Amino acid sequence: MSQLADKAKGDKLVGEVLAGSIRTASRLISRAEACDSSITPILKQLFCKAGDPVLLGITGPPGAGKSTLVNQLIQHYRKHDKCVAVLAVDPSSPFSGGAILGDRVRMNQHAADPGVFIRSMASRGQLGGLAKATGDALSILQAMNFDVIILETVGVGQSEVEIVRHASSVLVLQMPGAGDGVQSVKAGILEIGDIYAVNKSDLPGADKLVTSLREMLQLSSKMHPWLPPVVAIQANTGAGIDRLVQHIGEHRDSIRSGGEVHASRARERVRYRVVEICRQLLNESVFSGAGVTDTQLSAIANHQQDPYTLAEKLVGVL
Amino acid sequence: MSQLADKAKGDKLVGEVLAGSIRTASRLISRAEACDSSITPILKQLFCKAGDPVLLGITGPPGAGKSTLVNQLIQHYRKHDKCVAVLAVDPSSPFSGGAILGDRVRMNQHAADPGVFIRSMASRGQLGGLAKATGDALSILQAMNFDVIILETVGVGQSEVEIVRHASSVLVLQMPGAGDGVQSVKAGILEIGDIYAVNKSDLPGADKLVTSLREMLQLSSKMHPWLPPVVAIQANTGAGIDRLVQHIGEHRDSIRSGGEVHASRARERVRYRVVEICRQLLNESVFSGAGVTDTQLSAIANHQQDPYTLAEKLVGVL
């Protein structure tokens, strides 16, 4: 009886999201952020109702101008009557509160525009839950009527790469550094981007950075059907944004036209997402005490038993 | 037959680590770093042979002086004839290569001293594998004859907090910022530290930061039997290091004297570690294709099926 009532309530929320309710979507995202697993039946339904928006991830080092770029993209897409959702995820919390502040500034700017939805997420629940929650939030937004969803990650490093992998097109933003162009490009970023933008293209070193990136990408992606373009932009003036948007569209067309490389990357994203959901499920069972007793944990804490054997049992390998 | 040979080889490696072979330990850590699961039987054995070294985690924002502090601690412990291992973990790779460089510099300084072992780790294998690999490396080092193991994390944010949680005593390093002392302390760091050090105590704002930290810690840990001390230090001159080491010893004594809070934190650490090992096992099965077929993944990529149901099946919830 109560299960039926839950189902009716869940169906109602699903209907509201599909009808475009920002309020319901926002509440569900908060529940995902708090690792509330009771929304799983809702997420399952919404996932299978996903539309086909542009799903663009933006990453890059702090100070590269990600927020400014996102603002330019919003303005560009709004001029063409596209609805835009922005999910700003900050995996570097608890040490920084950057996302929240940047979010508020932009919220004000677009507050009167119903075609723009901006939402920030940071780690509030258990450690490691943010990547899973980002996937949940994207499922919710994809079931709404947005034409473009931008996933902006704030912070540096591995967590950021994990977050941005949820997007089907990844834009890596760079800026000319103090030193040599080549040295300022780290090896890892050449593997994650579909499109590269060099911001602050009026600064010295920008041309050299563009050239270096192009050369390195040509070397590293020789087998790829999509050679990531490198675009020089000035996010503060809007210079280069039109060309950037054109490349975003071309990458989307390339994905749509099929091809095994794109399909294989899509499967990779699913794999990654499934593992994140599994991890969350394990977190719940291990931390709620359902899967593991205090006695078992103490025996491991005292090095009488090992954690590997217990993990193998939990995952069903043993 | 081959299994027996593997077992004999594994037993030999276990024996070498227990006998203190830096070379074997170093090779095993490399295999852990590369997510090589064939060393699991060895790790199981080593885990149950752990000694009882001081296991100190050090974290703090970039530029706070973590490496300089670690160097001072090495010198201090060496003066008292203690053997020291340092594991410097950089979760912020692929965007930075800091750990490797810092490591080399220090390597040279202590290269001639057989009582010091310094090793850096960065993310080289699959995403998310670094926390698990750090646990593996600590299991290896704990089975050796080190008196002190220092786990230094380089980088910022959530990944760093995940890494440092492996340590039984966590030292949070801070330095006076440009602005107000109170504002420069983020909420999250008050929860993770057992000991706080304010470096560059000669800079303006240091006293205020020490006072603010003390006040905030008193408010936040009222139910705790251990009130985290706050020590002003100058890592470059060594001022305050003696007192810091004294506090590290006192925290260790407090852990040894038992008490439910410490035991509960130890169980929490084990929980966290078990989940990380599970995640790695799932990664292996999901990414090797053993657990999931391409057809299933494509169906999810096309939103015909949802990833939640598949994850539930994999973890055995369904």
Instruction: Report the complex ipTM.
Output: 0.84
Q: Which residue of A has its CA nearest to B265?
A: A301
Contacts of A305 in chain B (CB under 8 A): 48
Question: First and final CA of chain B: distance in angstroms?
Answer: 38
CB A69 within 8 A of CB B133: no
- Among chain A residues, CA nearest to B296: A267
Question: Cα(B90)–Cα(B123) distance, rounded to whole angstroms?
Answer: 7
- How many H-runs (helices) and E-runs (strands) does chain A carry? 13, 7
Q: A188: distance to nearest CA of chain B, Å?
A: 5
- d(C-alpha A47, C-alpha A144), whole Å: 11
Asked whether the beta carbons of residue B301 and residue A267 sit closer than 8 angstroms, the reply is: yes
Q: How far is CA B311 from CA A47, A107, A211, A224, A275, in A?
A: 14, 35, 43, 30, 7
| Residues forming a β-bridge with B116 | B84
Note whether B281 contacts A315, CB cutoff 8 Å: yes
Structure tokens at B59: 């974290």
Predicted local distance difference test score (pLDDT) of residue A10: 93
Number of residue pairs across A and B with CB atoms under 8 Å? 222
- Rounded to the nearest angstrom, the gap between the alpha carbon of residue B18 and the centroid of all alpha carbons in its chain is 21
B interface test, pick of A55, A159, A262, A287 with most B CB neighbours within 10 Å: A159
Name which of A94, A278, A281 is nearest B188 (Cβ-Cβ).
A94
Nearest-Cα distance to chain A for B73, in Å, is 25
Determine whether the interchain pair B123/A155 forms a contact, defined as Cβ–Cβ distance below 8 Å.
Answer: no
Is A317 within 8 Å of B281 when comparing Cβ atoms? yes
Contact B94 A187 (CB under 8 A): yes
In degrees, rounded to 5, the angle at the alpha carbon of residue A115 between the alpha carbons of residues A109 and A117 is 65
Show residues of chain A in contact with B48, CB under 8 Å: 303-306
Query: Given an 8 Å threshold on Cβ–Cβ distance, is A186 in contact with B94?
Result: yes
| pLDDT-flagged residues of chain A (< 50) | 95-101, 125, 178-184
- Chain B residues within 8 A of A33 when measuring between CB atoms: none
Residue ranges of the alpha helices (H) in chain B?
2-18, 22-33, 40-47, 66-79, 98-110, 130-142, 158-164, 189-192, 206-220, 241-256, 260-288, 294-301, 307-315
Among candidates A93, A306, A314 on the partner chain, residue whose Cβ is nearest the Cβ of B157: A93
Question: How much is the pLDDT for A190?
Answer: 79
> Distance from B112 to chain A by nearest Cα, in Å?
32
pLDDT averaged per 10 residues in sequence order, chain B, 318 residues: 81 96 94 90 95 93 87 95 92 50 59 86 67 93 96 74 88 76 58 92 92 87 78 96 97 88 88 88 77 87 92 77
Q: Which of B185, B271, B310 to mutate to test the interface with A (most CBs of A within 10 A)?
A: B271
Round to whole Å and give the CA distance between A92 and A94: 6
Q: What is the dihedral of CA A302, A307, A313, A316, to 10 degrees?
A: 170
Check residue B262 and give its pLDDT. 85
Are B274 and A287 an interchain contact pair (Cβ–Cβ within 8 Å)? no
- Using a CB-CB distance cutoff of 8 angstroms, which residues of chain B are in contact with residue A273? 307
Within 8 A of B129 by CB-CB distance, chain A residues are: none
Do B91 and B162 contact (CB within 8 A), yes or no? yes
Structure tokens at A112: 């009167």
**Chain B residues with beta carbon closer than 8 angstroms to that of A303:** 47-50
Q: From the list A47, A263, A312, which residue is nearest B298 (CB)?
A: A263
* Cβ-based contacts of A135 with chain B (< 8 Å): 307
pLDDT of residue A158: 66
